[in-house]
Structures are given as structure tokens and as C-alpha cells.
Amino acid sequence: MARTPAEAARLALACLDLTTLGDADTEAEVQRLAGRAAAAPGRVAALCVWPRLAACALAHAPAGVAVAAVANFPDGGSDVEGAVRDTAQIAAAGAQEVDVVLPWRALAAGDEAAAASLLRAVRRECEGLVLKVILESGELGQPALIDRAARLAIAQGADFLKTSTGKTPIGATPEAARVMLAAIAADATAAMHVGFKASGGVRRMADAAVYLDLVEELLGRDALTPQRFRIGASALLDDIEAVLAGQAGRAGSGY
């Protein structure tokens, strides 16, 4: 797992889903996000936006950068029709990736069927696209519940397990990430292709490095690619750029 700060920063950059999900986001915010991606010291993995802004993101994304948009977000309710509408809008815009929120309240209440039904419908609607399932691990809280959510998402065709919407008090944590990664590793098929996305509060390279190490430990070094690992963030890019510019010692960098 030994890697230099610059090596870690380059890995994090390549696996970064540069994100804007403000309630009042407009095309101007998306264009600024795309501009940040274009000016970054390397290619990011994707831009992540609202469904209504997916077409704008596609129009302005740098070459080779995917577009992801969110469904059933951020509430994570059990409205299958609403989640499918979001997904259809994303697919129609031409985006390559869907980040859908698992109906985590239903799962916590013991209604696995409702959670599975929504994920199944979304998976059908976005066949051929990358599907990231947001477990909202900070709200599920208990490792046993996070494990159940992870296994359910894998069973319903998730390509990635994602920690959080970033809209709740507890976002990504190493403890939740370990449970999610262990669920992937325990499934012989998933261990070869399902990825992990850390999202919610990952702002410094010191934070990102924890997830790089966990992915390598539980899924192997080969999983440290954009096809298997993502970080959902926007502020993290500032720290990545500082590290790559040789400013890792600046106050607050933490790396």
C-alpha cells in the first residue's frame, strides 16, 4: 500500500466524480464544474449532476470524462415510478452513469422487497449504463444493516456500492466502507467487477488515502481504477491540485 503523496493524488484524481448537487444548481454551475475538470492536472472519471442538467454536462464535459446523474435523490424513498422517471431522463440525455439512492428507510424497517423492487426497476431502465447504488450508510448506521443493503444492491445488479448522498450528517466513514467492501469481496462474482464509491465528506487527500488503502486491502491493487473505485467530491480537487503542485505542506492539507 506504500505510495507517495503524488501517486495517491494522481490515483484519486483519475477516480474522481467531480460533483455539483446544490438544490439551486443551474447550467452555469455545471459549466463551471466542467471548466474545473478541463483545467485539472489530469482527467477526472466523471461529472455528477442532477438529471435535468445531464445534457448540459454532456455538452461541456472534457473528452473522455463520463457524465453521471442522480436518481431517487436525495430522499431515498420507495417511489418506484419517480426513480424510474429520473433514470429515464438520465438515459435519454445520453449520460453514461446513474447514481441511485437505495430506499434505505424501507430496508431499515424490514421491507427488503420494496428496496429490491425499486433497484430492479432502475436497473432495467438503465440497462447498459453504470449503476451506482447509494446505501446512505451513515443513516443505516449498524454494520449488519449496511451489509444487508450492500448484498441487496449487488443482487439487483449494482456496478458500484456508494456510501452516501452527502446530504446527511454522516457521510463516508472507513467503518462503513470496510463493511461494503467486505460484502463485495465475499461474493465471488461481485469481487471481480463490482466497484466502491466513497462519497460524503471526502475533502482532503488524507481522507481519500484511507479509501485507497481499504480498496487495495479488500479488493486488491487491480481495483484501484475508475472502473472499480470512485470518490464523489468537489472540494477534494483543491487538495489534489495542491499535492500535485508540491504544496502538500500547506496549512490544512493534512497530507
Residue from 206, 213, 191 nearest 242 by CA: 206
Q: Which of 17, 132, 147, 162 is catalytic?
A: 162
CA distance 141 to 33: 32
CA distance 72 to 76: 5
Q: Which of 147, 159, 197, 239 is catalytic?
A: 197
CB 10 within 8 A of CB 244: yes
Active site (annotated) includes residue 167: no
Q: Which of 17, 86, 99, 207 is catalytic?
A: 99
Q: Could you give the 3-state DSSP secondary structure of residue 67?
A: strand
Active site (annotated) includes residue 197: yes
**According to DSSP H, which parts of 109-159 are helical?**
112-125, 137-140, 143-155
Active site (annotated) includes residue 132: no
Residue 194 CA to its chain's centroid (Å): 12
Neighbours of 237 (CB within 10 A): 22
Would you name the residues annotated as active-site residues? Answer: 99, 162, 197
